[in-house]
Amino acid sequence: MADDPADASIGSPPPQPGAGAPTSLVVRDVHVEYRIYEDSNTNTLRRLFSNRMKPRVARRVHAVRGVTFDVHEGESVALIGRNGSGKSTLLGAIGGLLPTAAGAIYARSTPVVLGVQGALHRELSGRRNVFLGGTALGIPRAVLEERFDDIVAFAGLEEFIDLPLRAYSSGMAARLQFSVASSVAPDILCIDEALAVGDQEFRDRSRDRILELTANAGAVFLVTHNMMAVRELCTRGIWMEAGEMVLDGDIDVVADAYLEHVAERQLAQKSAGLARAVTLAPTRDKAQKAADEVAAAAALLAGGEVRVTVPPQHENHFFKPIEGRDPVFVVGLGRSGTTMLRLMLQRNPELSMLSETWFVNRVWARRWAYPTYDPPEPFRTRLLDRYITMLGRHADFPIDLKAYRGQVLKGDASLARFLDELGLMLAEQEGSARWGEKTPVHVHSMDLLARMFPGATFVHTVRDPRDAAASLVAAPFTKLDDPVAFTLQWVRTLADAQRQERDQPELAGRVVTLRYESVVADPATALREVCDRAALPWSDDMLHFEEAASEHAPDQPWMAGVHQPINTSSIGRFRTDIAPDDLEVMEALALPQMQQWGYEPVTSAARLEQIGPAVRRAHAAQLAFDDDAAGVTADHISMHRGEYRDLVRGVSRQTLGGA
């Protein structure tokens, strides 16, 4: 082993005893150090010509610390770890691009580093850059001339090859860099973050090229954050952390351990953010309010949470239960059949149904936007006017909002009356005895609404997450870019609803949970259950909800499915509308909940057993914390970035939005 820096070089490996594949690379106790300078103004003219020049302040970074391993012919090794863990630095040392401070690296042949940062020049044409970049990689000019047409064709730049590089888009330049770098098939290949260049078509071709290179190379090193690519391309993993090797072994074992570590770290960081929560109390002192705003903004920007405590005497201004109304709330994740249920219940002779009032998010969650406590005016008026403005954006909203404003201001200050007066006015217009409301996101606030309306009934609809995601993929008004993210939201929504039913006595016996598939297969049975629980009379008219759609549902793209009779054609559409790769990840994430609700996976049990634990560990932080939920309770409110902008007036929206 070479301890002197002068001996820490790349040379022929020492003889390797033992049987097995020949050794391609030996790394022995390698250390890599470099210096960074903390004075950013060192090169300014003022400093250069100053008589009081200060020495440059340098800090030594120990990027790789005592790494040792052997790589045999035929092995493909992934270097994985967080940014700054030393992966690329170690790869650069293996490729001879960076000097080692101590230790030794022995290679059977010269390693070639394949990356997207080739030695290309912006002012030269693409043609000349092919030869410049290839020469920098050690490819003879004769070989470059022989492969020139293939390099250009692979990059898809036949029409632009004689233009200067500065005329290329970033994607075109990346394609040229990758095409040049991947035109060689060395014995030892080092791939550094070269899996995500160009558009999707080119990334697919790049993946095939890398598979070809790894098949022909004697040994392969890969640095990437793409764990799926790591598992596909590599047989062995080395996990780096703070310059040290944490684990070396089978790629699946190392990748699983690393993903579990990442999930635990994310959970710890989010937990630390909650522990650093700032608690604000109502105050009329302007200086104190200004200080509170700064502290709250700092907490949010650091990933923490802000809570507003509510003294009982002030909370009474906003919270007062309304007895005797017995409303029916339809809630659930989007595309789970909530609109269909609303229209069915609209056909009941005793019920009038409001739609999309967003009461919790637009009224209750913003009650601290104007912190005037005693008397409650003008706070209530300003909040009411903002709410009316939001309601007025619905062109088909059935209430005279001017009359509604006057009616609300006549009564007490309880914010529950904002919603109650809407329902009462609609019921009076339609000659109904009771009112109901459908806002899907209110599934996160059933406990709050149950306290406001002690006689309320909640109808929670649940749909197969694969079909719900497929309906969004095919929807004319929006396109779902990430079915996996939708599945995470589905899992969290079910968990939140179950938590509320379990922990809140106000909800005992007041939630009817319906599977969408059961409703469309046998609507009469589902509706009778709702009517029995909500003490509503039965009406056969509820089975013909499409007749209510023309009057109560506008002919808009998002209402396309409710203007036809009930049918089961949408069940199972995920088989054609969701990509197979997305489908197996969705099923791995939601498998326990899907089985609980009777949704059978189409992915094989063996495959789910293979990928399930790793997939759930990788998304553990998202499964455990829901940043989109309102999180509203009676004695405090968790204010998230979007909802908190009205309270934190001393911080610009741009600052909060970019946090």
Alpha-carbon distance 417 to 406, whole Å?
12
Express as a percent the part of the chain with pLDDT over 90: 25
Query: Does 2 score more than 50 pLDDT?
Result: no
pTM check: above 0.85: no
382-424 pLDDT, tens per residue? Answer: 888 889 988 887 656 788 899 999 999 887 778 889 999 999 9
From the list 416, 429, 445, the residue with the least C-alpha distance to 628 is 445
Q: Residue 326: pLDDT band by 50, 70, 90 thresholds?
A: very high
From the list 221, 190, 214, the residue with the least C-alpha distance to 77 is 221
Alpha-carbon distance 236 to 290, whole Å?
55
Per residue, what are the HEC states of 196-227?
Answer: CCCCHHHHHHHHHHHHHHHHHCCEEEEECCCH
Q: Residue 1: pLDDT band by 50, 70, 90 thresholds?
A: very low
From the list 115, 113, 141, 138, the residue with the least C-alpha distance to 127 is 141
pLDDT of residue 212: 78
- Crossing angle of helices 200-216 and 170-181, in 10° steps, is 10
- Secondary structure class of 367 (helix, strand, coil): coil
Alpha-carbon distance 32 to 66, whole Å?
9
Alpha-carbon distance 121 to 106, whole Å?
32
In this predicted model, which residue has the larger pLDDT, 365 or 597? 597
Angle at 301 between CA 298 and CA 303, to 5 degrees: 110
Q: Residue 15: pLDDT band by 50, 70, 90 thresholds?
A: very low
Across 135-149, average pLDDT: 85
24-55 pLDDT, tens per residue? Answer: 899 999 999 987 765 544 455 555 555 455 55
Structure tokens at 320: 């007062």
Pairing of strands 23-37, 102-107: antiparallel
Q: 312-478+502-568: which CATH topology?
A: Rossmann fold (3.40.50)
Contact call for residues 435 and 355 (beta carbons, < 8 A) = no
pLDDT of residue 16: 38
List, in sequence order, every residue forming a beta bridge with 264; answer none if it has no partner.
none
Query: What residues does each domain of the chain span?
Result: 276-308+636-657, 312-478+502-568
Across 478-503, average pLDDT: 81
pLDDT of residue 442: 93
Across 206-221, average pLDDT: 76
Alpha-carbon distance 218 to 74, whole Å?
5
Lowest mean pLDDT among 6-10, 55-59, 461-465, 523-527: 6-10
577-608 pLDDT, tens per residue? Answer: 888 888 988 998 899 899 999 999 999 998 88
Lowest mean pLDDT among 429-433, 501-505, 510-514: 501-505
C-alpha torsion angle, residues 528, 534, 537, 539 (rounded to 10): -50
pLDDT of residue 653: 27
Q: Residue 609: pLDDT band by 50, 70, 90 thresholds?
A: confident
CA atoms within 13 A on the CB side of 54: 10
Radius of gyration of the chain (CA): 32
- Secondary structure class of 641 (helix, strand, coil): helix
In this predicted model, which residue has the larger pLDDT, 579 or 550? 579
pLDDT of residue 355: 87
Q: What are the angstrom distances between the C-alpha of 206 and each of 118, 180, 397, 574?
A: 16, 12, 53, 29
Across 505-528, average pLDDT: 92
Query: Does 492 score more than 90 pLDDT?
Result: no
Structure tokens at 433: 């005895």
CB atoms within 10 A of CB 454: 14
C-alpha torsion angle, residues 569, 487, 460, 560 (rounded to 10): -40
DSSP 392-429: HT-TT--S-HHHHHHHHHHS-S-THHHHHHHHHHHHHH
Range 373-382 burial, b when 16+ CB lie within 10 A, else e: beebeebbee
CA atoms within 13 A on the CB side of 281: 4
Query: Does 381 score more than 80 pLDDT?
Result: yes
- Sign (positive/negative) of CA torsion 310, 312, 316, 317? negative
Which residue in the block uniquely carries the two structure tokens 């590089």? 165
Query: Does 648 score more than 90 pLDDT?
Result: no
Q: Residue 377: pLDDT band by 50, 70, 90 thresholds?
A: low
52-75 pLDDT, tens per residue? Answer: 555 566 678 888 999 999 998 888
pLDDT of residue 102: 92
Contact call for residues 135 and 42 (beta carbons, < 8 A) = no
Query: Does 374 score more than 50 pLDDT?
Result: no
In this predicted model, which residue has the larger pLDDT, 174 or 355? 355
